[in-house]
Each structure stands twice: as structure tokens, then as C-alpha cells.
Amino acid sequence: MREDHDMTQAQIGAAVNLPQRTYAYYESGQRMIPPQVLCALADYYHVSVDYLLERTDNPQMNQ
């Protein structure tokens, strides 16, 4: 999603209060993303956590 929004790892990291290097580890799969970071990313992109985890094709959050 980051690339689809033409954003850098540093920009997304700053948006969810993470250093770029930490975000890069999550993006590359070298570290597991903690639940609070998943929630922050879902909130940032206005999508569900399930969408980020590819458990659904529907980006909408359940209301």
C-alpha cells in the first residue's frame, strides 16, 4: 500500500511513530509487526487490519 500511495518508508514510519529502519524490517518480513503497529497502519490507510494481512479483499473497516 505504501508504494501505491507513492510514499517512502520514512514517511510511513513517521506517520505511525516508527524509525524508517524498523518499518523496513516489518515490510521485508524480517520482523513481525506488533498488533499496535498493525492498528496504526490500518488507521493511517483507513482500511481494516484484515485487509493489511490479506485475509480479505475488502479494504473497508467494519463499522
Q: If you average pLDDT over residues 19-32, what whole number do you get?
A: 96
Predicted confidence (pLDDT) at residue 16 exceeds the cutoff of 70? yes
Q: If you average pLDDT over residues 13-37, what whole number do you get?
A: 96
d(CA 5, CA 28) in angstroms, rounded, equals: 18
Q: What mean pLDDT, rounded, does the chain reach?
A: 93
25 touches 31 (CB < 8 A): yes
**pTM for the full predicted model:** 0.86
Domains of the chain: 3-52 (1.10.260.40)
Look at residue 63 in the predicted model and tell me its pLDDT: 52
Question: 3-class SS at 30?
Answer: coil
d(CA 8, CA 62) in angstroms, rounded, equals: 28
Tell me the backbone φ, ψ of residue 16, rounded to 5 degrees. -115, 20
